[in-house]
Amino acid sequence: MKMTSLKMKKILQERLSNERFRTSYNRDKDTFRIEWKDTGQGMTITLPNVVSKYNERGEAAIDDLEEHVSEALKIMHEEHYLSGMEKNIFPVIRATSFTTETNSGKKLIHKEHTAETRVYYALDLGKSYQLIDESMLEDEGWTKERIDEIASFNIRSLDNDYKKDTVADNDFYFVAKQDGYDASRILNEAFLEEMMANVKGELAVAVPHQDVLIFADIQNKAGYDILAQMTMKFFAEGRIPITSLPFIYENKTLEPVFILAKNRPEKK
């Protein structure tokens, strides 16, 4: 039997029904929302996306979704503190279009990064994380500078293992540890400088989505085209897309660039 949004909505209602939750269906947007009755905090699920995953993976896709939703709702209802959790604070990269407020109106701690990206801060909770907002800092008397310092230290402490692939005499390096902070490693300046010291040509960097960081040692014009296609493909497939534009790394700065076929990129 073919799966439809309405059938999926009914399955999710049955799986996630709870006397403490309220669910709703938006027919126009084809979305399903589940939220806590007492606070209104919750999450909205795009049903066609779930149907697509179900068609690929079957019941396992719904099992995974149920686990993620349950964990997210649980976290929303808990009080989380920063003190004593310093080793669990990390920076996360998001697109500049990403919201700067929670659904309940709390301002998320963030700082500007590039024309395409912004840095937020996450409290790692194991299976999931919570983005840090201003109220969490105020409750403990912390400053934005302290959060940034701690997160920067922690990202430098992570392993930077990568896989290498060579295409048309251009070398590509992929960091994909699947720890939630692959793209965040672009903030580790020592790592960038290490890669810069070892390239033969020009160093390009890309963060198409949260779970990958790509370095490219561009040694000929074909390298730019390959990188552009690669970045767009990763961007389209990513769970949390960031940007399809790669960056050129020069003089300790990241410049977003448009890749023009058979030409050197133009800086944005």
**Which amino acid, residue 261?**
A
User: How would residue 262 be classed by pLDDT, with cut points 50, 70 and 90?
Assistant: very low
Least confident of 36-40, 45-49, 94-98, 120-124: 36-40
- Overall average pLDDT of the 124-141 stretch: 88
203/216 Cα distance (integer angstroms): 6
pLDDT at 76: 66
User: How would residue 77 be classed by pLDDT, with cut points 50, 70 and 90?
Assistant: low
- Among the listed residues 266, 165, 255, 261, the one whose alpha carbon sits nearest the alpha carbon of residue 203: 255
User: How would residue 228 be classed by pLDDT, with cut points 50, 70 and 90?
Assistant: very high
What pTM value is reported for the model?
A: 0.74
Q: Which percentage of the chain shows pLDDT scores above 70?
A: 94
- Overall average pLDDT of the 82-87 stretch: 92
Beta bridge pairs of residue 152: none
User: How would residue 128 be classed by pLDDT, with cut points 50, 70 and 90?
Assistant: confident
| 75 or 22, which is more confident | 22
266 pLDDT higher than 80: no
User: How would residue 192 be classed by pLDDT, with cut points 50, 70 and 90?
Assistant: very high
Pairing, β 170-175 against β 163-167: antiparallel
